[in-house]
Every structure is written in C-alpha cells, then in structure tokens.
Structure 1
Amino acid sequence: MDELQWLKWAQQIQSIAQSGLTYGKDVFDLERYTHLQTLAAEMLAAHTEMQKEDIQAILSLESGYPTPKTDIRAVVFDDDRRILMARETSDGRWSLPGGWADIGESVGEIAVREVEEETGYKVKPVKMLAVWDRQKHPHPPMFWHVYKLFIRCERIGGSPKTSIETDAIGFYAEDGLPPLSVDRVTKAQIHRMFQHHDAPHLATDFD
C-alpha cells in the first residue's frame, strides 16, 4: 500500500465533508458532514505534529466546491545556462521564485509578479513547462491537494533584490544546486527544467 494512503483518504474525506457542508440542507446530514471533517482532522493530526483543533480550524475556513490549490513556479535561466533561485526566509533553503496562485491574476501575471517581488528581476512568461500533481512527486506530505505549474520566463530587466520572503538571490548551474526547499521544489524537477532549457521543443509535462 502507498505509504501516504492515509493522506489521500484524509483529503477525500475532507472533500466530501466540505461539499456536504456547502450544499447540504438537512440538519442531520450537516451534522454527519461535520463529523467527517472531524475524522479528517484526527487522521491528519495522527500523522503530523499539528494539533487536531488547529487542523479543524484551518479546514473549517474552506468552503464551496473543493478543488486543488495551485502553486506557480517561475523558471528563469541566464546566458550561462544557470537557473534563478531564491533562498526562503521561512526555512533557509532555496527554491524557484513563486508561490500560491491569487484570485484575479492569470498564471503568467503571477509568475511575473513573484519573480519581481522575490528576486528583483523583471521577466515575461513564454511557455508552460509542467503541470504536476504535488502528490506524485517526493515532496513532504501536505494536507492540501496541490497542482504545481512551472512557467518558463525570459529576463527583460531589473536587478537582484531580496524581500521579506527571500534573503538571497542567485543563478545556479545544474551540478551546483544549493540546499533545496523540498516543500516547494525537488532536485528532479529542477533537472527536468534544465532538460526543457536544452530542448525547447519538448511538450509540456503533466501529472
């Protein structure tokens, strides 16, 4: 059995509970859906360091039809085949510029903004390189179901500048990557970005 099957079950139970609490009308059904949400929180608490009450508080904020969250990562190379990375203040490790998708912005707009905010560089988006399901890659477990979008961007200006989220900026060669923030990006994913750089005709990856 998949060692993270518990996480998939918890996500599915939370999804059923959230849909039921959104669209259900019968008071007894609503009580059952609330109980399902509590069970999901207990499963998550049993396998993480978070308290059940804290998880319940987070889950209760979610409403409407449940859909995956979207994480945008910008892929920027320099003329020496090095990839742009920023060191995250939250864990002291390095990632591609990016973050959660925001309402009201397109994928390309988010990539442009995240690069400028986190690194100081101005870019333009040119190609979707990958749309990956986070659970199908070796990231640490997360109770949200997440799609990760990798956008190839070309640098058009700006200069290196840190932010409240990043405290160092740099371009790195494929064989000299810094310690990675694996919550955000894995070594295999970055190596795949180099493959896309070397073979621009490659189709967009997915799943």
Structure 2
Amino acid sequence: MEKRGQFTNWAIELQSLAQDGLEYGHDRFDLERYTRIREIATEMMSAKTGLPIKQVKELFSSDDGYQTPKLAVRAAIFNDEKILLVKETTDEHWSMPGGWCDPNLTTTENCIKEVKEEAGREVKIEKVIALIDKSVNVHNQKRVERAINCCSVFFLCKELGGKFVVNTETTEYDYFDVDHLPPLSVNRTTADEVKMCLKAAHDPYWQVICD
C-alpha cells in the first residue's frame, strides 16, 4: 500500500492541531489563530488535490471535537458463490452496500440500514469479517485523502428477502463472480476486499482481520 506524502501529512497534522485547539481553547485570539490554521490546512489540501475549497472542507476539515477515526460499514452478501454489488450514482462504479455510520445507530444497525437503502435487501448479520483502515492508497488508485483515518467494518450478511428500488445512492444491483467483477468504486470496495469476504464466508473459524 502506498503511503501518504509528507505534504499531505503536514496538512493533516495542522488540521488535527487546529481542530483540537478549537475544541479545547478558550482565549478568543487563540481561537482565531486555530481557525486560520485550519483554513490554511484546507487550502493546502485543495492545492494538493485540485478539489474546490468547499469540497475539501466537507471531506477534510468539517468535524468538531477531539479528532477520532471515522467509521463506516460494508456488507458482504453471497448467493451461489457470487457477491451482491450495487452501482453507485456518484461514479457509476460498483461496491458492496454500505456507508458512513449514523451517530444514533450501532454498527450492525447501520449495516442493515445501508443494505436496505442501497440494495433493497433485508439481511441478518452473521459475523464480523474485518476492520480495515481505508485512509491509504490501494493498488495505486488514489483514495480521497482525509484529515483522519477511516475504518470500515466488513460484515458477512445473510439475505432474507426484499426488492431493489432505484434511489439517490445506487441505480442497479447484481450478483457477480469474484473472479469477474465489474469496475469497482475503489474508495468503497476493492477486489482484494471482495476475495477476503469470500474466504471468510467459507471459513467457520474465521479470525477477524484488524489493521
């Protein structure tokens, strides 16, 4: 896996220090300084990625409080050795159903909700497959760089039924052979992750993978 560059690391550290300062600082002059440091870190990331300031702010420097990793979920659903994938509206590529965790739900509740919303399927959680750090580059395909690490919890799920409905996040669903996958949205799902999930489905003694 490719590591972040030093420029990105500097911007991330500045953003983290500024966010902590805004959370715990009290002096109004210090708060103004921390706000400006955060703006500079955002401008640095915009210059590095070529993304508009507004978009970088949403992805990179919009959190409050002490900085902790973001949490997301992905659901691995198999049928006759094929995995269920959904087609994302944002890039028209495919991924396992999932997304960011809502603050008022558990990780399993979030997984069940995301599958229902994106694939129209009712599922039962069978086991945790892995907790994967999604903040690094994979297979030389650049992920969105964020100020903090992003952890995805992969769940093996059993399909109970349901019906797909086109929605704001996905336009299609289908089952694919793991050796003949469609173009993947690599910020969400990689081929290695799909193969990992299939191994977990076959192994009754699977040990959870943690980064």
TM-score computed with the length of structure 2 as normaliser: 0.88
Give the residue type in structure 2 aligned to 1:15. Answer: S
| Structure 1: gaps (5+ residues) | none
Query: Structure 1 residues 49-58 or 154-163, which shifts more?
Result: 49-58
The whole-number CA distance in structure 2 between the counterparts of 1:20 and 1:64 is: 9
- For structure 2, list consecutive stretches of 5 or more residues without a partner in the other structure: none
**1:16 paired to 2:20:** no
**What's the counterpart of residue 152 of structure 2?**
148
Q: 1:95–1:185: 8 Å Cα contact kept in structure 2?
A: yes
Once residues 183 and 58 of structure 1 are traced to their aligned partners in structure 2, the CA distance between those partners, rounded to angstroms, is 13
Partner of residue 117, structure 1:
117
Question: Do the aligned partners of residues 61 and 2 (structure 1) sit closer, same or farther apart at CA in structure 2, a change above 3 Å counting?
Answer: closer
The CA deviation at 1:54 is 5.2
| CA pair 132-39 structure 1, distance change in 2 beyond 3 A | same
Aligned partners of 2:41, 2:163: CA distance in 1, in Å? Answer: 46
State the identity %. 36
| Alpha-carbon distance in structure 1 between the residues aligned to 2:18 and 2:88 | 34
Aligned-residue CA RMSD (Å): 2.1
* Corresponding letter in the other structure for 2:193: Q
Question: TM-score, normalised to structure 1's length?
Answer: 0.90
Higher mean C-alpha displacement, 59-68 vs 69-78 = 59-68
2:173 paired with 1:172: no
Task: Measure the CA separation in 2 of the matches of 1:4 and 1:141.
Answer: 13
In the alignment of these two chains, the number of paired residues is: 206
Task: Tell me: CA distance 1:89–1:126, structure 2 relative to 1, closer, same or farther (3 Å).
Answer: same
Aligned to 2:31: 30
Q: Match for 1:72: what amino acid?
A: V
User: Higher relative contact order by CA 8 Å / sep ≥ 6: 1 or 2?
Assistant: 2
> Displacement of 1:162 after TM fit?
3.0
Contact 1:75 1:96 in 2 (8 A): yes
* CA distance in 1: counterparts of 2:47 and 2:170, whole angstroms: 32
Matched residue type, 1:84: L
Whole-Å Cα distance in 1 between the matches of residues 111 and 61 of structure 2? 29
**Counterpart position of 2:166:** 162
The correspondence for 1:193, drawn from 191, 194, 197, is 197
Q: Show CA shifts across 1:1-37 (max 9, x none).
A: 9453333332222111011011101233223312321
Aligned-pair distance for 1:64? 1.2
Q: CA separation of 1:156/1:8 partners in 2, compared to 1, >3 Å: closer, same or farther? A: same
Counterpart contact for 1:73–1:150, Cα < 8 Å = yes
Alignment of 1:11-160 (within 5 A): 11-52=12-53, 55-56=56-57, 61-78=62-79, 80-138=80-138, 139-144=142-147, 145-160=149-164
